[in-house]
Amino acid sequence: MRKITTTDLAEFGHREREIATDLLNAWRKQGLPEDFYDNDVRIMMNFNSGNVFLTNEDYQVAMLNGDVLESFYSLPYSGDEGFLEDFEDYKEDDLHSDDWEYLQQIRNI
């Protein structure tokens, strides 16, 4: 069975190592996103999506949105993923109550 994610840098390709470098530089220059906990932070790659990101022991995710290091969210019910700006047009009537409550929490950070 093929694994989905890895923290083994030897499994990262050239592109993924470049993104990892950019992540570390952004962290150094900008710091971590305000709502991202700095406990057991590591670089991870998702083989399916090709995404390279920072994660921690709480399974939070931070990724580059352009040149800015931002939190990347997953809605708990639908599984929709994105940066906060990707959820701007989401309305309460269109979402499961768990997703709406989560969106309200991250919008108020």
pLDDT, tens digit only, all 109 positions of the chain: 889 999 999 999 999 999 999 999 999 999 999 999 999 999 999 999 999 999 999 999 999 999 999 999 999 999 999 999 999 999 999 899 999 999 999 988 7
The encoded tokens of residue 25 equal 């530089």
Closest CA to 60 of 51, 78, 73: 73
Question: Domain ranges in the chain?
Answer: 5-107
**What is the structure's pLDDT at 108?**
86
* Cα–Cα distance for residue pair 95/64, rounded to 1 Å: 26
* Cα–Cα distance for residue pair 82/100, rounded to 1 Å: 15
